Amino acid sequence: MTATSGARAAELDAADPLGEYVERFVPGDDLVAYLDGNSLGRPLQRTLETLPDVVRTQWGGRLIRAWDEVWLTQAERLGDRIGAACLGAASGQTIVAESTTVLIFKLLRAAIAARPGRDELVILRDEFPTDRYIVDRLAEDHGLSVRWVDAPRDGGVTPDLAASVVGDRTIAALFSGVAYRSAWWADMPAVTGVVQRAGALMVWDCSHAVGSVPLEFDAWGVDMAVGCSYKYLNGGPGAPAWAYVAARHQGELRNPIPGWLGAQAPFAMTEPYAPAEGIRRLISGTHPILGMVALSDMLDEIESAGIDAIRAKSVLLTEFALSLVEELIPDATLASPREEARRGSHLTIDHPNAARAVESLWAEGVIPDFRHPSGVRLGLSPLSTSFAEVERGIRALTRALA
């Protein structure tokens, strides 16, 4: 690593309008560089205080009364905040509920019920494993076919690829807004339009998009979407996910896992199930209140910084990282888009020594991610990552790969 790159990192940090946010996160034990924020976001310093405070004052102090006073509407309130700050979604369309896995299952199963007479689901062959597993199982259980889409290794779904597979048999397409491996940011409004013109429903997995790229679900006419909250939303391990269902679809939404909190009258214990009005009908069981604390804290920071400023820093971080990789690791192969408009907030490079390098780096306090068979993924969470940290991490990665 040259002195010039270190100086450039210092210049970028000095000019960073979001630089003050970096110090708001827990620094980590023996941490040299954390380059895996798209797998698990770092906790905020303030969560070290807010989480025990909720335990002490709400759970311990108010006990069961806290449900009536605060908790019953928490899933909807946090959903509305995610919608406004990150998704371009008006209130009443986003809710925080179970895991990403459970919510994907529920949305796709609801889509199957909403499109009788159709018998195909569409998904990328290299989609995140959970998404593929759910599509496979639903197809098996309901006698459906799966149309597998092949995308370039450094890319993802495009309008042309979508148009080549959707048709009058398609129930729904499930694609990632930002691909988990390559960071390909799909042209989401265009792909949505292609799928909808075939009479099908578009379901987006935005786990790697939410909080890192600006989304405009209402303006783009998105049908449904889901995403986790422990990556760029920094909700912590096992934090509940969120789901978006456009208001126009909520009346026909049939929750395949009906539960008491999603019922019209949750405390009328003897009544048959009748779904609640609006997005609340998507809830099944009791939502995890403690798992929402860190997410709420992070939404304060996102609302303060603004998603456009977060995206601007993300672009600078990935551009800086890409320039260093090209300079210092010329034998690596870029497996992410070069075009910034099509790239999320991480980079993947392929190198034959990737697995051994990542294992050794973790022991040194440098934390990138390994993706089988030969990928090193560099996840650069804009609010918690400095340019100097990127420089240190890629310098160490250069040594480890060699």
Kindly state the helix (H) or strand (E) to which residue 362 belongs, with its residue range: helix 354-363
> Lowest mean pLDDT: which of 26-30, 128-132, 334-338?
26-30
- Has residue 317 got a pLDDT over 60? yes
Q: Is the dihedral of CA 378, 368, 39, 356 positive or negative?
A: positive
Q: Is 205 a catalytic residue?
A: yes
- The topology under which CATH files domain 70-302 is Aspartate Aminotransferase; domain 2 (3.40.640)
From the candidates 25, 230, 232, 320, give the one annotated as an active-site residue. 230
State the catalytic residue, choosing from 81, 106, 231, 313.
Answer: 231
- At 172-229, the pLDDT tens digits run 999 999 999 999 999 999 999 999 999 999 999 999 999 999 999 999 999 999 999 9
Interval 216-244: pLDDT, tens: 999 999 999 999 999 999 999 999 999 99
**Domain 3-45+307-401: assigned CATH number:** 3.90.1150.10
Number of H helices, E strands in the chain: 15, 13
> What is the share, in percent, of the chain residues with pLDDT greater than 70?
99
Please tell me which residue in 181, 343, 377, 395 is annotated as part of the active site.
Answer: 377
Task: Quick: pLDDT tens for 44-55.
Answer: 999 999 999 999
pLDDT of residue 270 exceeding 90:
no
- Owner of token pair 């299952």: 105
Q: Give all strands (DSSP E) within 69-134, no chain letters.
A: 94-96, 120-124
* β-strands 145-149, 201-205 pairing: unpaired
Neighbours of 15 (CB within 10 A): 10
Phi, psi of 326 (to 5 degrees): -65, -35
Under 8 Å CB-to-CB from 162, ≥6 apart: which residues?
122, 149, 173, 175, 191, 194, 195
What is the Cα–Cα distance from 71 to 69, expressed in whole angstroms? 7
The pLDDT of residue 314: 98
218 is an active site residue: no
Domain ranges of the chain: 3-45+307-401, 70-302
Query: What would the pLDDT profile of 20-40 be if each residue is shown by its tens digit?
Result: 999 999 999 999 999 999 999
**Amino acid at position 213, single letter:** V
Give me 253's structure tokens. 């939404």
Q: Of these residues, 80, 126, 205, 369, which one is catalytic?
A: 205
How far from chain centre, in Å, is Cα 225?
10
Question: Does the annotation mark 230 as catalytic?
Answer: yes
Say what the pLDDT of residue 3 is.
Answer: 64
**Residue found by looking up tokens 């909520």 in the block:** 250
Quick one: tokens of 17?
């309008």
Whether the per-residue pLDDT at 347 is higher than 90: the answer is yes
**Measured distance CA(165)–CA(198) in Å, rounded:** 10
pTM for the model: 0.97
* Residue 1: predicted pLDDT: 45
The phi and psi torsions of 136 (rounded to 5 degrees) equal -60, -45
Here the tokens at position 313 are 């820093």
377 is known as an active-site residue: yes
Same fold? 3-45+307-401, 70-302: no
Catalytic residue, candidates 21, 25, 105, 128: 128
Cis before 373 (ω within 30): yes
